[in-house]
Amino acid sequence: EFTEEFIQPHITNMAKMLVDSHRAAGDQLLVISSTNEF
């Protein structure tokens, strides 16, 4: 819920395209956050 409400609206189309290109290249994707609570 938190991600859908607060994070997703801030993800730009360019960011999505970059992630997709890395995924297509077989790169390992990581999510890193300094948030200690969700």
The Cα–Cα gap between 23 and 20 comes to 5
**Sign of the alpha-carbon dihedral angle for 5, 31, 24, 15:** positive
For the stretch 13-23, pLDDT in tens is 999 999 999 99
pLDDT for residue 16: 95
For the stretch 1-38, pLDDT in tens is 888 998 899 999 999 999 999 999 999 999 887 876 65
Segments making up each domain of the chain, as ranges: 1-38
pLDDT for residue 7: 86
Q: Are 3 and 9 in contact (CB under 8 A)?
A: no
pLDDT for residue 3: 83
Angle in degrees, CA 10, 27, 38, rounded to 5: 40
